[in-house]
Structures are given as C-alpha cells and as structure tokens.
Structure 1
Amino acid sequence: MTTMFHPPAAQAFWLGDAAAPMLAHYHPAQHNSKLSRRCGVVLCAPFGHEYMVSYLSLRMLAARLSAAGFDVLSFDYQNTGDAADISSAQIAAWQDNIRTAAAWLREQAQVQHLCLAGLRFGALLAASVSADCRADGLLLCAPVISGRAYARELQVLRNMGLPEEVLATMSAEELTGYTFPQETRSAMAALDLKKMAVPACPVLLLSRDDIEGQEAALAAQWQQQHDAVSFSAVPGYQAMMQVDAHSSVVPHAMWQHCTDWLSSQFPEIHAATTAPKLTASANEAQWLQSAIAVHEQIVHFDGMEGVLSLPQEPDTRKPAVILCNIGANHRTGNHRLYVKLARALIQQGFTVLRFDKSGIGYSRATAAGNHNDVHAADGVADIRAAMDFLEQQGYQEFVLGGLCSGAYFAYSTSLADKRICGLMLMNQLVYVWNPEETIEQRRQTSIKSSSFYVKALRDPATWKRLFSGDIHFGLIFSKLTGRILKRLAAIAHKLTENWLPVPFLLSPEARHLRAFCALGKHVLMVMDAGDASVDLMTEKFGRHAALLRRSSRFDMRILRGADHTFTPLDAQQKVISYLTKQLQQRFGDSAA
C-alpha cells in the first residue's frame, strides 16, 4: 500500500492506426510561468510481468515530469494492455508504436524537443529507434542490454515456480501467460545495446540495484565515444519490481533524479503553448480483430477510469458485466485475462466494463489517499459507482466478476446491492477481510490446497525438503487439521439438512449464496484444483459445493494444470470459454 501525492489529470485516448489502436495517456506540461520547455517525453513500458508491477510507478513518473513542465505520453504497445491485437511481427510493431507516439507529441503538443524514456525492455526498444525519432535525449532505466540474454532469462523464469502439471500444458511459444513465438524471440535477440551505434543525443543510464548488471560497463563504453553520457546508481528499482503490484514501491528518489536530469537538459526558454484538446471521438475506437468486430470506449466516472467493451448491437435488457481488479493490477488483469474475457463476451452480446477502482491504475486515490491498497473498504462503493454509471446508460442488472480479491469485492458488493443478478467468482481466497491483517501476513500463514499436499507426499523430493527444514511442517499440519474439521462440519450440515432443515447451521456465505440463487440470480465459480480457494470453497459450501448444488442457478468448474492466476494460455482459454458459455446460456437471447 502506497500513500502519495495526487497527480494532475491525464487525458486518455486511442492512439495510432484506427485498424489497431493503442490506449494512451497524455500528461500535458504544467506551466508555472509564461515559459515552456517545449520538450516531450515518450514513456516506453517494459514487457509482461514487469509492465504490470511498474504500471503505477510509470504513471507517477509521467505526473512528476508533467509537473516539471514536460509534455508526456505513455501508451500500451499493440498486443499489450488495453491495445488492439495484431498478428504481424511483434518487436517491429512495438518499435513502430514508439515512432507513432513520438510523432503524435511533435505534431499535437508542438514540442520542439523529444526525449525517449524506457524501463527494462522498453529502454532497449527506445534506444533502437532513437535515431528514427530524432530524439534529443534518451533516458534508460535498468535497460535490457542484450535482447538475446533477456529472451533466455524470460524462458528460464517461465519454468520457475510452476508445478510440473502446469508446465506440461504450456507450449514452447508461450511465456507466463503471454504469447512468445520464435519470431518474437529471434527479433528480440537481434537487439543489443553494446552493438548499437552510440546515440548522438544526451543519455542518462540508470542501473538496477537488486543485482549487479552491465549498465556501468555500457556507460563506460559509450562515454569513450560520446561525452554526453551520464551514469547513475540511484536506488529504487528493486523496491519497484516486486513479485506483486500491491507490494511495488514507487521509486520517488529515482524519478526525481530523472526529472532533474531532464530539466537540466531542457530548461524553460520557449514561449508556452496551449495543450492540445482531444475530441470526444478520441475516447472511442472500433476495429476488426481476427475478423471479429471490437468496439471500446474509454470512460470516466467518480474519479475512476475504465474501458467499456460494446457489442455490435448493445442490448440494455441483458445485464452488463463488470470486472473487478485482481489485486493491485490495473484493469487489464494478469496476462490480459480481463481484456480477452471482455472481447469474448461482446461477441455474445454482453456489454463489459473493466475499470480501476480507487487507488489502482489511473483512477483517483482511495479516500485515505492511498494507492495499491488492495482490500480498501472503498472497493464496494467503487463498484456500486460503476453500476450507477452503467445505469445511466440504460442497464438495470449487472453480473460482477473477479479473480482473487476481485472475486472478494464482487461477492461483498452482492451483499449490499440488489441490482446484481450474477457472480463470476474465480479462485476466491477470502470472504471476509480483516482490515488489521496485511496481505503479507496472510501470505505468510497461507498454504496450498489439500490435494497439492496429498500429491506431494508421493514425491521423494518432498520428504528431502521436510527433513532439511525447508518445509514449515507445523504451519501446514495446523492449517490442514483446521481444514479437516471445517470439512467435517460442512458434511454434518449436509447430512443434518436432509432430515432437519436448520439454515443457521450453514456458514453465512452459504446462506447468502443460497438466498441469492433463490431470488433467481446466478453464481459461477472457477478454481484451479491446486489452489487454496478449493479448500476454502469446501469449508464454506461442502465437498464440490454440495450445499449449493440443489440450485440450477449455481455452477462450478475446477480446472487442472492451471495456477492461481490461470497463467497457461490453455487455462485462460478454458476459463473464458466456460464463462462466456455459461453467461450466454443464463442471460443470452435464448435463456429461459
């Protein structure tokens, strides 16, 4: 959870080719006088997981630069974030995306100078097109030096932390939830900062502080040929690049150092200009994706930002679908799961809103002034505000969906709002959140599913780890014992109600979902077989949710070979296929 200043508003719009647009944010320069730097900065994001965890930090860098008088443009490359998908060569497309962003800043913001700023792989991409963009400055933060080494690193990381049964479902051309074909790997391997011509413009190289990298050696190599190359080792990278977005810390000192360097290179000497005003049409885009029509709008309500996906013929008689943030990840969801799900659902005639609740992405801070506060109490009010917004568009009923904390907020909102007619709960790990408990504390005391440990007992490596002290046996034993007792209680409830219906013996969660379904509403659950959410479901609703299965309005799917965030592309497709089919059957044109 991060508390910070409130950044000036950015203008979101669709950028580039209308046939494959990118979602961008323009941060106009904030002028403190009649002078202007007349300098634009294009922010080039990293790839994959690094993009997700640094999203808020890059937004704060853009806000800091904007406050210092720079016009800043950030954007999602094609095939990433909220942008359209393309089938052409990915690396070449991303390089062209940077050129497009640079051209927009020159033409629309009327900047005379242009700087490219990149993080990790975004830095390597920025350097590779700096001459094409006629860049006047280059800011490279923890840059990937060798594309070949980076591709190998990504493939090694792909195999770490995932069970064998999950890896078995993944093809060689996917990488932690993203497509990573041979063509992309080859094009990535062809990029190497040490083999590129030394940029002719001033350069600032910032090193990473988690491991010893090659940034200093690269700076020394370039300084031999160009005296305008600076090197810095300001800490902040490691704190930003965490395992999860919620624990990522904005590197304020590092961003201030970058701002100071750019300010020294581009002082205020030009007459100020008027920032471009984007037309309303810039918020809307339509394109064909694999011969399928996609229509999306950028929307704002109550200080929050979202993307509304619309079917070709919107029907307000059908419920609108709202997707709730996964942890502190912004609205695209892990591995773009929400983007893919939304674009699949519009083909079935559903309107879908994926938005960022307060404190996430480009939405306002929480009422307490925080960002990345995953379980902030504001979440329920934020979702209700989203429903209010869609109600103004004519929709009367809503299906809420989410993964992990997104499922928690979907469920929690169903306790407070009668407009909800359906729930899609994916790998839900908590039904009641203790505000005095942190995510880190909960993670330290959590364990995997019971089935995971049953399988692990057959593996000799497990016993080796146990005797070496690598496994916290006491915690696991205590947790599993508690699960068994709760399972026995659920079985007793099931047996008891066969001859003596006593609803108060049920868990509060089971009582609520039973009443929810009895009102004609629907509940869908999706879980990975090895996830702890399976045991929680069993504790609350009995084995295979037996306490809920008397209703045809309840359905559950347990997948094998996935993980908590459904990383394998095959698992993602199964989740999307299951949910779209179920919603179509229950709320589609032919639904009874």
Structure 2
Amino acid sequence: MTREVRPEHETHAAPDAAMPVTFDDLFGWVHPAAGRRGVLLCGACGFEQMAAHRPWRALADRLAAAGCPTLRFDYPGEGNSGDPAEVRVSANVAAIRRAMRFLRETTGVTEIALVGLRLGANLALLAAQEESVDRLVLLAPAATGRAYLREMRLRARTVGGVAEGAVPKADPDGLSVGGFRIDAAFLTDVGALDAGAITRAPAPRTLLLAPETRTLAGRLTALGSAVETGPLPGLPLLIGDPIFAEVPEADFNRITAFATDGVTIAGPAIPLDLSPAHLVGPGWSEAPARFQPDLFGISCTPRRQDPGAPTVVFVSTGMTVHSGWGRQTTTLARRLAVDGIPSFRFDLAGIGDSGGRSDGRRPPYAPDGFADVGRALDHLAEVRGPIVLMGNCSGAHAAFQALCRDARVDGALLINPYCFDWDPDQDVDAVIRQTFGSTGTYAALLKRGATWRRLLRGEIHVRAIGATLAKRGLDAAVRRLRRLVNPISPGGSVARRVARLRRRGAEIRVVYSAGDPGLAALHRYLGCAPGRADRRLGAPVAIVPEVDHNFSSATAQALLGHHLRDLLTAVQEARATRTEAHKPVETDSRATVLASLA
C-alpha cells in the first residue's frame, strides 16, 4: 500500500540543506534525510539533463523531504565532473555504481532506490544488473539505443537555432545536440543498447512511466519484478527546453510516493560529516561556493597563478545551469586555468543550483539581474587582478548592466546581446517565442518553392501574417516613443553609457552570429553606418557567419575563446597603462607629483 507523502512532515530536510560533494572525480549533491532508504537520481544525458536540471533538483528536495537521503550527480564529462579521456556507456554505468556506494557510506542507508530519466533510465537498468537495488524507477527509457539516436538526430536539427540565425550544423564525426557532442565511441555504445535484453530482475519492485510501457513491463514481469506502469505526461516539461522547464507535479508525486513507500525513519537527520568538495584536473582545481543571499558557483583556479591575472566571471545565459550550454563554460574555464587565468561560473537567482527569486519571475532579463553579478563580485572581494564578465544573450544583457553600474568590472565580452536595456512592458516568454516567428522567418520561408505553392493555393494567409507583423511593428514604435519620455535606464542612452565606460577605461567586445535578432538593437543604439558601432565601442564588432545563436560547435567555441583572450590582453594593458600613469614621479625640485591619464 502506498503511503501519503506529506510535505510538512517533521523529518523533512530543508532544501538548502543540500551539500555539494565530490567523489571519484565526480561532482554531485547530497540531500540529507533521516530514512534508511537512499535514492540515487540518474539523470538524462547532455541537452536533456541541462533542460531538466532545476526540476531534477526539486525532485531531490522532495524525496529528501519525504525521508530518503538523496544523491544527484554529473556523469563523467558532464556538468562539473571530471574530464575522462573517452566517454563510454560502461563508464557511466560504473559511475552509477560508485555513486551508490558513496550514498551508502556517507548516509548509512541500508536500501537503495534508483530513479533514471531517459538515457539515465537505461544506464540505471544496466547498473541494477550488476549491483543489488531495492527499487527502480524508469522514466521514459529508450526501448533501443537506435531508437534513442534517431530521436536525438531529429532534435539536433531543431535545438539552438533562431529565426534569423543559422541552425547548428550536422557533426560529420559524431552527433551534437544543443552543443553537447556525442563522440563516435559513445554513439556505438548507445546504438547497441536494448532495454529488453536484460537477463535478471533489476529490482523487486519497479515503476515504469513512459508513453509506451507494454513491452518492457512484460519483460520485467517475466523476470520476477513487480511492475507498476503509467504514462509520463510531464516529460516535455522536463526535457523540452531549459527556459520553459517546469516541475511535473503529478509525475513527481507518484515517483516520490513509490520511492518512499514503507521507508524507515530512524530518527532526526544526522548532520553529515563530509569533506569539502574539491576536484582537481590537469592544471586546474575547482571548489564550489555558496554566497549571499542564496547563490551558488564554482571557482576554477590555476595550479600556478599570477596574482595580477584577470579573473573571468561567467554570467548565466537564459535558464542554462552554470556549466553552460553544451557544457562549454566548464570546458572553457578549465582551459583558461591551464593558461593561468582563474574564473568563476555561477547561477543567477532562479537558475540551476541557486535559490529562487523572491518575485517568482523567470530570471532572463530580470531588471535586477545585474545585482547577482555584484554579489558574485562581493564573493570575489580578495581578487586583486582585473575582472572581466562574459555572457551570451540574456547573460550578455546582465553583464552589460553590471559593467555600467559596478566600477570593479574592467571589461565584458557580450555575445549575441538581444538588447542592452530590457523594456519592462515586454513579456519575456512572448518575446522568446516570437523570435521563432519573426519577419526574417517569413522572408526565409518565401524563398522556398514549397512555400510559394502553398501561398498560391491559399494555404498561407498573407493578411493574417501582415497584420501580425504590422501589430508588432506598431507595438515596438509605441514602446520607443514611451521610452523617449521615460527612459528605462537612469544612466542615459546606450551610446552615452558606452562612452562613459570607455572614459573609465573599461574594455568592451561584442560578438554576434550573422543574422542574429540582437543586431537590430546594436544598429539602433550604436549606429547603422559602417564602422559607427566599432568607433563607439573602441573595437570592431565581430559578426560570425554560419554559427548558431549559442555558438555550439567546437570551432565556434574556439573562436569565442580567441575573442576572450584578446579582451583579457586589452584589459591587462589598459590597467597597466593606468597604473603607470598614476605612479609617483620625481621632479627636478625633488617634489613628488601624481601623473594621471588625460
């Protein structure tokens, strides 16, 4: 009989009790509780887990609140975990087994329940073939690896593009989904998976939630497992898109009830005595950090560091967790550390592993998003070298706002900023969705023969399209007129603030993918004439052809790394010039004067 799960139970662990941990080159979070059954969350892989990150954390909180110590972790080569020489399915299964042992050793649990999502469900199924598991929850596992890869190839064509920008190109040597690259060896491993090929019951009791359950449920039952089945209507909310990801309440309630049914509560939760989380790699070391009010980040420190080296602060993009789109931020941070450059990647409030926003709104383009950047700088108060911000899209917006307001920032790399000031009269969700149906989309469609044929047959309603575009243009014009009377920013126009930043000595670099919607804001506020924006910014605006909005490919990421290093060099030179200009200089009369910049 399934017991009712009551959120107000006295043995609940508070969500903020979750503790970052490292073990066997893996990074994870322990959510303490007093029960004797532990739950290990085996997440999805790549883009799907990036989308599911925050709801997945909410599930861990919910399970711990119901009395089960819970561990969630990053697979090798994902999130904040170490970088293996090669990613293989066998290594991920071995990581699950290591995580099971770690959960037992640190919390003292006597039972283990595995909860696997998508490919993580297939990995959990394999791990349960090798090591004893008391309960198993499978959430939309792939019937076969080949079916999963067909779905991923379809998603690869649709994730990461925008209306006017390029879509991610196909990877000739692997598969890239949302910037997450799957190499040939892992593709081969996944292609060989077959959920129905298991030879023993993975657990005495199994919960299988998926669009289709009959085949796998029959196999599990035949092997002796008591199987409960059902649909998973909330799956799109979990893995669809990180910006619109939500907690599927009904699904999570059922998972929690199954995983915690009959759990034994030994008493009040005992505080865990865990060593500080710390991960070391070739030329770098990383440590997690909590800072006020409830923010989380990872500092990446070079093995040998010049005290005057610049520090890069990565600002969250959209709802993407601090490891970055395609895990690019983690990768870039570690490469910078090898070159002696420290960095700090963190989640704005409401994103990833930071606490929620008090106003409950989505974090992208929040009017106070820059304040979280300031709190990160407060945490880095002991840094003596220059500080440089780097952000993409909404992260670029927050970085620009922080650069304008905080004199501690010496420079910023702004990638595809959609706007420099967000109009509070605009709805964030609506703008994001409209980006996929803007003027450029219709213009591109009209170049296709099939579209012309539909137009001639009357299947495309031109008047409706025209009315929609006209309304958008009118709304934009009204907003601009309103802002002339009541500006969004108290600092004056974008051009004036940029001029003020340059007088302060700050360095700004702006990079766009060709055709990105944000180019309209650049031209509107910094000039349409050739070279006008370049002169105002003090450096050429880089417009990169044939890359998607998120610069997903390895080549595009290498290009961003090049632009960042150029910016770091410029910032160091500018600071050296200011320092030299302010040095005491002895005159002929032995009086000391202070030289300064003109």
Query: Whole-Å Cα distance in 1 between the matches of residues 467 and 339 of structure 2?
Result: 46
Which residue number corresponds to residue 34 of structure 1?
none
**Residue 72 of structure 1: CA displacement?**
0.9
Aligned to 1:10: 18
Does 2:466 align with 1:474? yes
- Structure-to-structure mapping, 1:178-217, within 5 angstroms: 178-208=180-210, 213-217=211-215
SS in structure 2 of the partner of residue 550 of structure 1: helix
Q: Who is 1:354 aligned against?
A: 345
1:415 is paired with a residue of what secondary structure?
Answer: helix
Report the AA paired with residue 266 of structure 1: V
* Alignment-derived partner of residue 58 in structure 2: 60
1:493 corresponds in structure 2 to: none
Pair 1:453–1:482, CA change in 2 (3 A): farther
The answer to whether the 8 A contact 2:411-2:571 is kept is no
For residue 45 of structure 1, report the CA deviation from its aligned partner. Answer: 0.8
> Alignment partner of 2:220: what SS?
helix
Deviations 1:476-506 (A, max 9, x none): 86499789999xxxxxxxxxxxxxxxxxxx9
Q: Does 1:122 align with 2:120?
A: yes
The secondary structure found in structure 1 opposite 2:92 is helix
SS at match of 1:276: coil
Match of 1:554 among 525, 532, 539: 539
Change (3 A) 1:371 1:477: closer
Write the distance in 1 (CA, Å) between the matches of 2:354 and 2:568.
29
Residues 220-271 of structure 1, C-alpha deviation per residue, up to 9 Å, x if partnerless? 33224425221133642233333x2221110222212112112225343x56
Q: What does 1:498-509 correspond to in 2, within 5 Å? A: 508-509=493-494
**What residue ranges of structure 1 are gaps of 5+ in the alignment?**
32-36, 487-505
Aligned AA (1:430):
C
Counterpart in the other structure of 2:280: 286
Deviates more, 1:371-380 or 1:149-158: 371-380
Deviation at 1:97, TM superposition (A): 1.0
Q: Distance in 1 between matches of 2:304 and 2:461?
A: 57
Identical counterparts, % of pairs:
27
CA distance in 2, matches of 1:160, 1:516: 38
1:584 deviates by 3.0
* Alignment gaps of 5+ in structure 2: 1-6, 9-13, 479-490, 578-598
Greater displacement, 115-124 / 143-152: 143-152
- What is the distance in 2 between the residues matched to 1:582 and 1:193? 50
Letter matched to residue 396 of structure 2: A
- 1:545 and 1:344 map into 2 onto residues whose CA distance is 35
CA distance in 1, matches of 2:49, 2:315: 19
1:578 is paired with a residue whose SS is helix
Among 227, 245, 270, the alignment partner of 1:274 is 270
Q: Following TM superposition, by how much is the alpha carbon of 1:475 offset from its aligned partner in structure 2, in angstroms?
A: 6.4
* Equivalent AA in structure 2 for residue 56 of structure 1: R
1:301 aligns with 2:291: yes
In structure 2, C-alpha distance between the alignment counterparts of 1:354 and 1:127, rounded to whole Å = 33
The answer to whether the Cα contact below 8 Å between 2:32 and 2:269 also exists between their aligned partners in 1 is no
1:438 aligns with 2:427: yes
User: Which of 11, 32, 40 in structure 2 is aligned with 1:42?
Assistant: 40
Query: Does 1:579 pair with 2:564?
Result: yes
Q: Give the Å deviation of 1:397.
A: 4.0
* Match status 1:341 vs 2:335: no
Match of 2:258 in 1: 261
Q: Look up the SS of the partner of 2:421 in the other structure.
A: coil
Structure 2: distance between partners of 1:204 and 1:120: 15
Alignment correspondent of 1:320: 311
CA distance in 1 between partners of 2:226 and 2:300 (Å):
47
Report if the CA contact (8 A) 1:47-1:122 is conserved.
yes
Secondary structure in 1 matching 2:252 = helix
Of 149, 152, 158, 1:151 maps to 149
2: CA distance, partners of 1:263 / 1:551: 61
Equivalent pair of 1:510/1:548 in contact (CA under 8 Å): no
Tell me the equivalent position of 1:496. Answer: none
Paired residues of 1:431 and 1:509 also in contact (CA < 8 A): yes
Is the CA contact (8 Å cut-off) linking 1:140 and 1:206 kept in structure 2? yes
Indicate the larger mover: 550-559 or 515-524. Answer: 550-559
Superposition deviation, residue 75 in structure 1 = 0.6
Q: Find the counterpart in structure 2 of residue 494 from structure 1.
A: none
8 Å Cα contact 2:201/2:225 also seen in 1: no
2-structure distance, mates of 1:22, 1:407: 30
Q: Distance in 1 between matches of 2:558 and 2:461?
A: 35
Equivalent residue number for residue 365 of structure 2: 375
Q: Provide the residue aligned with 1:386 in structure 2.
A: 376
**Bigger Cα displacement from structure 2, 131-140 vs 546-555:** 546-555
The residue identity in structure 1 corresponding to 2:305 is P
Q: Distance in 2 between matches of 1:319 and 1:482?
A: 45
Q: Deviation digits for residues 190-236 of structure 1, max 9, x if unmatched?
A: 2211111242423333434xxxx332332133224425221133642
Q: Cα distance 1:97–1:227, how it changes in 2: closer, same or farther (>3 A)?
A: closer
The one-letter amino acid paired with 2:559 is: K
Question: Which residue of structure 1 aligns with residue 511 of structure 2?
Answer: 526
- Aligned-pair Cα RMSD in Å: 3.2
Match of 2:389 in 1: 400
- Tell me how far 1:439 sits from its aligned partner: 2.2
Match of 1:92 among 85, 90, 93: 90
User: TM-score, length-normalised on structure 1?
Assistant: 0.84
| Residues 579/397 of structure 1: CA separation in 2 closer, same or farther (3 Å cut) | closer
What is the identity, as a one-letter code, of the residue corresponding to 1:286? Answer: V
1:245 aligns with 2:242: yes
Match of 1:490 in 2: none
Which residue in 2 is equivalent to 1:22? Answer: 26
| Residues 473/569 of structure 1: CA separation in 2 closer, same or farther (3 Å cut) | farther
Question: Which one of 408, 413, 421 corresponds to residue 419 of structure 1?
Answer: 408
Range with bigger deviation, 296-305 or 7-16: 7-16
One of 524, 536, 539 as aligned partner of 1:539:
524
Number of aligned residues:
547
Q: CA 1:66–1:167 in structure 2 vs 1: closer, same or farther (change >3 Å)? A: closer
Amino acid at match of 2:173: A
Q: Return closer, same or farther for 1:239/1:168 CA change in 2, 3 Å cut-off.
A: closer
Instruction: Give the residue type in structure 2 aligned to 1:412.
Output: Q
1:54-99 Cα offsets, whole Å, 9 max, x none, are 1011101111111111111111111111122112342121111111
- Residue type of the partner of 2:417? Q
Deviation at 1:443, TM superposition (A): 2.8
SS in 2 for 1:74: strand
Aligned to 2:105: 107
Q: Which residue of 2 aligns with 1:568?
A: 553
Contact 2:386–2:572, Cα closer than 8 Å, also in 1:
no
Letter in 1 for 2:117: L
Question: SS of 1:299's equivalent?
Answer: strand
